[in-house]
Structure 1
């Protein structure tokens, strides 16, 4: 009997080894070399996401140091996995430590003594990701090695880290890893392997801009990441890994160059410098040369849209490294300017051959430096994230003033001040100029410039469903949003039930301020009196402005009965008003009205736009209201859609009088190129979100001509048309060899040329078709010989080029524009609108064929609403958006980026109107 038990036990052990069950840890996790086709880190080899996923699943049942978590689906439907790695004891108590991390990060009803006790009990939480930009392949391959080492190493440092730290190893872009790895490995001859000629973007819609979506949260991967970072685990360190390094170096490591954003807590910047120093020091101690910082690269901490930078606005340390290398061996080039040791490059590296494993060795060192810092500073990290949250709550609970560059400029413009008793004081050399201390309170702390204590968004606004979308972007970033259950008063104003309140007395106050208030970017010059130093990304992006949301700033406490929104908000159900039987009228004010319109058109129902104002029961609708004649099928669509979309329809007994614009189904050709154009990808997502049907069209099809057989309108997003002259010069796209491209992608090859493509498009337009040109595609104003010419130009040696940046420079900012909303392109818009402008062109009248209607223009000299602008007065009197007749067709010129990264909901109507107007009668 005893021997039978021993035999049975042995059999069970063998079965467990061969077929491990979830939760049953084995002592020897499978090494990568034994799982993958080749060892990750081998030259000319890339594991794909399916293999990576399989390996994580294997490790999850083989190691008690790891738990594998599904954090959501990707745009293409893959599972986005996160491997939680820590000591076995911590893994068995994850919820306890997650709750401590949340309580400290939120700091609600928590005093410093309690916070210190929690910090003593808690574990540091560190996020380390990979693969956000899929062609930056080394991060994904290196993560495989790092995870395995953390699961198997038994040295003192690793054990200490596992005891002190909970590591969240995540993959940011599974779809991209699958695409890039499979593309690279498709050739059997290793020398032929490359990923420079991918056929499409490596995130389904936005490619590289998946790292510009953090505050808007449109892509599913971003929502998954943000949920972990700001609503679930609250890591104190967010390490976002990238490549490529500056020329002549191996890796860029923080600190970053100025300016940093004035909204977040200074503690986060001090700790960022600490971690960065630990990373550089560890590289140097291991003899790993070639790291650079600050001025070695253009990266700054201003913009809120990136994975590591959004962290600063949530009191977390955001790290970015940019490292060299790849699966194909390369060399470190010799760059003379990098060879002399200096503060930003302490230990230069000489030219040498470089292999993938060389990069992964550096990556492992950097990972360990971050984890070692987190281990040694565990309690301080936990307490400081509480301290920053508590600081935010305290600032939002009292009068507070944010110091802005304009305040400092006002102080600097004041008369010099001579300190009492020092009548001979004169500033000299680099000595600072002194001003009267009394000016500090007058200029820096004037009562009218206080920070708000809350923002109130009332349902009584033009487009409430868009305001709900704005609030959802805040919620997805962990911001507390409250809904009023009853009417409430603030000062002399009464707000109705259903209003939303966002208080600034909460942990993520920096993010709230950044989304509601203007960004005021400091004037940043290459050298005193020199040209402006370009920002790393855009400078003005205030989301409430971009989305056209109306809100009130409140400078006192808000009292009432409120409920906190625990998850995504749905717009209040729309309704049918009135009892008429002839049809329905729907205001053009809400973006969601376009979804209703598209559903009707797809069902074969052809609604119309009413060109005049409509008065119903004393309420006036602006021109552009949607008229839907009654039918049983129309009723089903209208009733179900208005309920879902949060819009209202008014049933009337008689058809409205006056002129109409009859809408027809529109055949939209969205122009793209082989490899994908990022603004085209954003436009794709936007069209699908608002239920426009479209077809991608590539240069070969354009060159064939006969475009009217397939399309009513061709849509050129920014950068879809090669730039030249006044629009800047773009380098020709390098086309791969046709025979090297799989047959399914060959129709995408080709280039748009002035010689062959433009005549085919001109024939299409003059024959009655329409072209919508966004941003740099406004060059069609010249290519089609219209009466408009670019306004922001200079002529040198007979050649038009953009204005010198010292004269005119608006690198991604929000401006105020005027609108003629009696014109179809501007139906549903207010008289003035906040419009995103990024090194764009505007237009002025010249000579040429066709009639021009100015739809939106700039007026006056004070146009900047958020960001940075030099020479904005040059815009005065120029046209931003125009409706131009060309032969029997139309050219719609949308100079500014009205669909900027699918963020600027407040100006989507310019694009949507143009699309529907293209097929209208």
Structure 2
């Protein structure tokens, strides 16, 4: 889970590699006499031994073998991975519990949902039920400890007959999941490809270790785009409702063995506080078990940067579902290493109670720690079985109550307002009469500021039918449903809060067990001003600070502040877009509104079939409605009608027939030849972009630096896309650092992969990109890749700078948040956009035009543009440009400062990229 920069730092601190373990080392999990095959007998080499990694095929075979040999395990297929492998979950418990799984799953569901139960009934169910614990492995596939250790944990639980094991099996249902089957297969096979064990490594794997997302597979949980994420969310929040979610990672902070909870502040203000107190309990049990067993080197809180703020990770989304989310980060791997000497870790303190001495370390050492950590969590679950079950009900019940009455969430802004109001209050009194008066003042301040009726939490939300981009509304609601949120649909028109809503509108009530997640997806995050010291630089949040999904996806919704009763029916499962249709005869052809992202999918189908498609540059009328500039014109033909009939119905968008060809200037589109720039090893934002292009059926090829350096790009491509992080870091750059994948020696990788090697350079690559653009090509640069736009001569420059250097963090700091910007949607690059949009901004740049060839498409026009997250010095954005349409010679450079495709979440800004792909090569016509 650690970023590569931290991994490199740990490697730099290492003293030396130790010698490999002796061949005669004892087995980690010795054979038994009950007929269950030990790992040493099932694999070509025992998992956990030096220089060996078992792959997913071997793991899967062993799971099936265990399931045939033990009555303590049941295998469940939870879905397919992105590459089509079966994602298995092993359910481990006593034979008696396995025989009644449906009963215990129903108890877990009823308590977690907390609907229609009172405390007495909940206590009765908690007495009958079994604790449910999810433990996964392999999410980040190069973090190999977790996958190899799970093999041994399973074996030990299936063969152990000690009192503790039997008690755990009787009290707990354990769900062992594998989070990334494809990644384990890739990484293990890559590591084992060399016959000389001491030359094995996986630092040079050729692509991301999960298709499209790599490390970001643990940032996908609230959107749930990826197949693996959706499979796990289904288990966690729609089927099994575990009270504990244990997500295992590596590597441990330098000089320690393992990080385990609790975490540093801040925590998110939306979830139930009981989550955090129970999290601390389990964390204490984990550290105490290690120390009691003489296993030093655990750290917590300040020992690492992890917090509980961001919702997108597996263990953190658990908090918004009333589950205890655990994260461990442990040292180790198949290649032996050393624990480095880090002096600060050698002094015992609260957050590092038992330091570990520097010295050699083997994978088998990590596996013993993993066993202890798993054992500690399961022992806690066993001893607290009934309390865990009742408390998940209690939190769900609390959330239902909060959503059913007036409730206020206290955030840093409200505390700032309270402090400001308190500044006008009289000083504290010392006598009794004065003290009573002071109490009245304090109560009045509390009620006035922290219980302001205008600032209470909504009882829920209405998402009206008839929005311009209803397929995106469907995608948003499906993200909620995948996370166990109850969504309702109106089967007739209704009124709420003085507004009228049409039939088919959606309702999301706050009065449900997972209210915390509902609020977090609709309301802005208000991250504290977390400074290293008063007046000092900000402490970066772990991951990002603001991510409100409804804002990112451009969803129109109304907050409802009263009871939400109406003709509502709960949606039973994932939604499909309401079928679109062709409206009118269309004797001349059809117009398609530009508002829906799926209009690009339909456009690409038409272009692929050789059908002429154009954008109408002026506004128009069709089907009794006014269409904004950019409406898509399709002349009549039998083939066009066939594609439109199928496409409108399946994609959920309408087409409007016209009796005559519309008048006005057109942009005639052509199938674009798109090059998506990538690097050896993969760049996550490029691969997220690949996923987006595939979803909307854009034709493209991946392009690597050697091909760019060779030139002649205009012969093969119309558009080159440089996603965030594709331009290597330069210490003098005004743009935040890009990330570069490791570049192995050509001789160390297969010949068919060598063409991917290399990095974009100023000397070789930039002149070829400039020549491509000046000759008529289109270059799209996103986020940190805008450094390239300046290098090739775009008539715009970085605005957030002073004396040629980036603004210091004490002056300007927006660490992954949402900001509001104006949009000129009469420009082709912004066709289909609203007049104002929320942008994802992560230490991004903004621009100033330096020549007449730079047209502002979107810009910041407010002193306080922050919509969700955290911003210092946000006023410095005012008057700067977010999106630029720049001319270079005969070509175009579209500069997009914010990360408009970030993790495929900001649907509201996808059109900037999609329009750019088609607009650059388009030709003006009448």
Give how far 1:846 is off: 2.6
3-state SS, counterpart of residue 265 of structure 2:
strand
Deviation digits for residues 814-858 of structure 1, max 9, x if unmatched?
0000000000000000111111100000101235xx611100000
Q: 1:826 aligns with which of 810, 824, 830?
A: 830
CA contact (8 A) 1:723 1:777 kept: no
Does structure 1 residue 32 correspond to structure 2 residue 28? no
Give how far 1:733 is off: 5.0
Aligned to 1:367: 374
Aligned to 1:189: 196
Aligned to 1:491: 497
Aligned to 2:780: 772
Give how far 1:757 is off: 0.5
Aligned to 2:3: none
Aligned partners of 1:689, 1:863: CA distance in 2, in Å?
31
Aligned to 1:887: 889
CA contact (8 A) 1:726 1:802 kept: yes
Distance 1:732 1:114, change over 3 A: closer
Deviation digits for residues 257-280 of structure 1, max 9, x if unmatched?
000000000000000000000000
Does structure 1 residue 752 correspond to structure 2 residue 760? yes
Does structure 1 residue 603 correspond to structure 2 residue 612? no
Deviation digits for residues 110-151 of structure 1, max 9, x if unmatched?
111000000000000000000000000000000000000000
Q: 1:735 aligns with which of 728, 735, 743?
A: 743
**Residues 505-520 of structure 1: pairs in structure 2 closer than 5 A:** 505-520=511-526
Aligned to 1:75: 82
Give how far 1:460 is off: 2.2
Q: 2:251 aligns with which of 235, 241, 244?
A: 244
Deviation digits for residues 376-395 of structure 1, max 9, x if unmatched?
00000000000000000011
Aligned partners of 1:204, 1:219: CA distance in 2, in Å?
9
Give how far 1:152 is off: 0.2
3-state SS, counterpart of residue 126 of structure 1:
strand
Aligned partners of 1:303, 1:142: CA distance in 2, in Å?
28
TM-score with structure 2 setting the length: 0.94
Distance 1:324 1:883, change over 3 A: same
**Residues 521-560 of structure 1: pairs in structure 2 closer than 5 A:** 521-560=527-566
Does structure 1 residue 460 correspond to structure 2 residue 469? no
Distance 1:549 1:40, change over 3 A: same
Give how far 1:594 is off: 0.5
Aligned to 1:447: 453
Give how far 1:780 is off: 2.4
Q: 1:682 aligns with which of 688, 693, 696?
A: 688
Aligned partners of 1:719, 1:730: CA distance in 2, in Å?
4
Identify which range, 313-322 or 485-494, moves more after superposition: 485-494
Aligned to 2:27: none
3-state SS, counterpart of residue 263 of structure 1:
coil
Aligned partners of 2:915, 2:623: CA distance in 1, in Å?
27
3-state SS, counterpart of residue 891 of structure 1:
strand
Aligned to 2:21: none
Does structure 1 residue 404 correspond to structure 2 residue 408? no
Aligned partners of 1:169, 1:175: CA distance in 2, in Å?
17
Does structure 1 residue 207 correspond to structure 2 residue 209? no
Aligned to 2:587: 581
3-state SS, counterpart of residue 364 of structure 2:
helix
CA contact (8 A) 1:257 1:300 kept: yes
Does structure 1 residue 267 correspond to structure 2 residue 274? yes
Deviation digits for residues 411-470 of structure 1, max 9, x if unmatched?
1122254344449999xxxxx999733111111111111111110011122211101110
TM-score with structure 1 setting the length: 0.95
CA contact (8 A) 1:28 1:152 kept: no
Deviation digits for residues 316-340 of structure 1, max 9, x if unmatched?
0000000001000000000001111
Q: 2:875 aligns with which of 868, 873, 876?
A: 873
CA contact (8 A) 1:524 1:532 kept: yes
Deviation digits for residues 504-530 of structure 1, max 9, x if unmatched?
000000000000000000110011211
Aligned partners of 1:488, 1:735: CA distance in 2, in Å?
60
3-state SS, counterpart of residue 841 of structure 1:
coil
Aligned partners of 2:236, 2:837: CA distance in 1, in Å?
34
List 4+ stretches of structure 1 deviating above 6 A: 423-426, 432-435
Q: 2:322 aligns with which of 278, 301, 315?
A: 315
Does structure 1 residue 915 correspond to structure 2 residue 917? yes
- Unmatched tracts of structure 1, length 5 or more: 1-24, 427-431
Give how far 1:500 is off: 0.4
Does structure 1 residue 616 correspond to structure 2 residue 622? yes
Distance 1:558 1:330, change over 3 A: same
Give how far 1:732 is off: 6.0
Deviation digits for residues 72-91 of structure 1, max 9, x if unmatched?
00000000000000001001
CA contact (8 A) 1:488 1:559 kept: no
Distance 1:816 1:568, change over 3 A: same
Aligned partners of 2:441, 2:713: CA distance in 1, in Å?
67
Aligned to 2:20: none
3-state SS, counterpart of residue 95 of structure 1:
helix
**Residues 593-672 of structure 1: pairs in structure 2 closer than 5 A:** 593-616=599-622, 618-672=624-678
Distance 1:621 1:299, change over 3 A: same
Give how far 1:576 is off: 1.0
Q: 1:136 aligns with which of 126, 140, 143?
A: 143
Give how far 1:350 is off: 1.1
CA contact (8 A) 2:203 2:742 kept: no
Q: 1:842 aligns with which of 842, 846, 870?
A: 846
3-state SS, counterpart of residue 437 of structure 1:
helix
Identify which range, 484-493 or 731-740, moves more after superposition: 731-740
CA contact (8 A) 1:418 1:434 kept: no
Aligned to 1:794: 802
3-state SS, counterpart of residue 125 of structure 1:
strand
Aligned partners of 1:659, 1:319: CA distance in 2, in Å?
59
Give how far 1:561 is off: 2.0
Give how far 1:580 is off: 2.8
Aligned partners of 1:829, 1:732: CA distance in 2, in Å?
33
CA contact (8 A) 2:854 2:887 kept: yes
Aligned partners of 1:463, 1:320: CA distance in 2, in Å?
38
Aligned partners of 1:229, 1:440: CA distance in 2, in Å?
38
3-state SS, counterpart of residue 880 of structure 1:
strand
Aligned partners of 1:39, 1:615: CA distance in 2, in Å?
71
CA contact (8 A) 1:82 1:170 kept: yes
Q: 2:402 aligns with which of 395, 400, 411?
A: 395
- Unmatched tracts of structure 2, length 5 or more: 1-31
Aligned to 2:338: 331
Give how far 1:575 is off: 1.1
Aligned to 1:124: 131
CA contact (8 A) 2:737 2:784 kept: no
CA contact (8 A) 1:718 1:773 kept: yes
Distance 1:593 1:154, change over 3 A: same
Task: Give the root-mean-square deviation of aligned CA atoms.
Answer: 1.6
Aligned partners of 1:158, 1:815: CA distance in 2, in Å?
52
Deviation digits for residues 546-605 of structure 1, max 9, x if unmatched?
000000000112222222111110111101111231100010011110010000011111
**Residues 686-725 of structure 1: pairs in structure 2 closer than 5 A:** 686-724=692-730, 725=733
3-state SS, counterpart of residue 527 of structure 1:
coil
CA contact (8 A) 1:540 1:868 kept: yes
Distance 1:241 1:433, change over 3 A: farther
3-state SS, counterpart of residue 815 of structure 1:
strand
Q: 1:904 aligns with which of 903, 906, 910?
A: 906
Aligned to 2:171: 164
**Residues 94-105 of structure 1: pairs in structure 2 closer than 5 A:** 94-105=101-112
CA contact (8 A) 1:236 1:385 kept: yes
Give how far 1:108 is off: 0.6
CA contact (8 A) 1:686 1:902 kept: yes
Aligned partners of 1:621, 1:269: CA distance in 2, in Å?
50
Q: 1:230 aligns with which of 226, 230, 237?
A: 237
